[in-house]
Amino acid sequence: MTENVRFATRLSPDRQRVTVALMMDDQPLGFADVESSELEELIALLATRRAEMAEPVAPEIEPNTRLTAIIDPAWRAKNASPVAPDGVLLALRHPGLGWITSLFSREEVLRLGQSLLSLAGAPRSAEGGQHHLPALAGDGADAPALGA
């Protein structure tokens, strides 16, 4: 894509539609006026095409990368899947991208859990250095499963 081609967007005053414009040299070439469901489809299609591109998304977060974080997003976890019966499905809700899901092996779930506990400052047991999960209300243990 040439440097003088860009996309512009505008949210309708009633917040029900988004206008997406293709611009060249600051002149509109075309518009699409879409509702939330159509925008979700477009975002999913763009994400699919991005994943297919020759240049992959960076495998690591580069130093000084500016990140936008969702604070305490809703999440759901579910044991097993027809695709990976020994896996764990984790979904995080992003207000603009919807539910972002990942399928983890049980080994990776344990590594992720230990890493999160360590970052949260959970106490370690005397034997083996494993973290004890504190008994806190709302710790996610009672969170509804996916599809619930």
Query: What's the chain's average pLDDT?
Result: 84
Per cent of the chain over pLDDT 70 is 81
Q: What span, in angstroms and rounded, lies between the C-alpha atoms of 132 and 123?
A: 6
Q: Which residue has the higher pLDDT, 145 or 17?
A: 17
Task: Tell me the pTM.
Answer: 0.72
Whether the Cβ atoms of residue 121 and residue 132 lie closer than 8 Å to each other: no
Cα 13–Cα 42–Cα 71 angle in degrees, nearest 5: 70
- For residues 143 and 35, which has the higher predicted lDDT (pLDDT)? 35
- Over the stretch 61-84, which tens digit does the pLDDT of each residue have? 999 999 999 999 999 999 877 777
- The structural domains of the chain, with segments of one domain joined by +, span 5-52, 71-148
Q: What is the pLDDT of residue 123?
A: 76
Indicate the helix (H) or strand (E) that contains 17.
strand 17-24
pLDDT digits (tens, 9 = 90+) for 92-101: 999 999 999 9
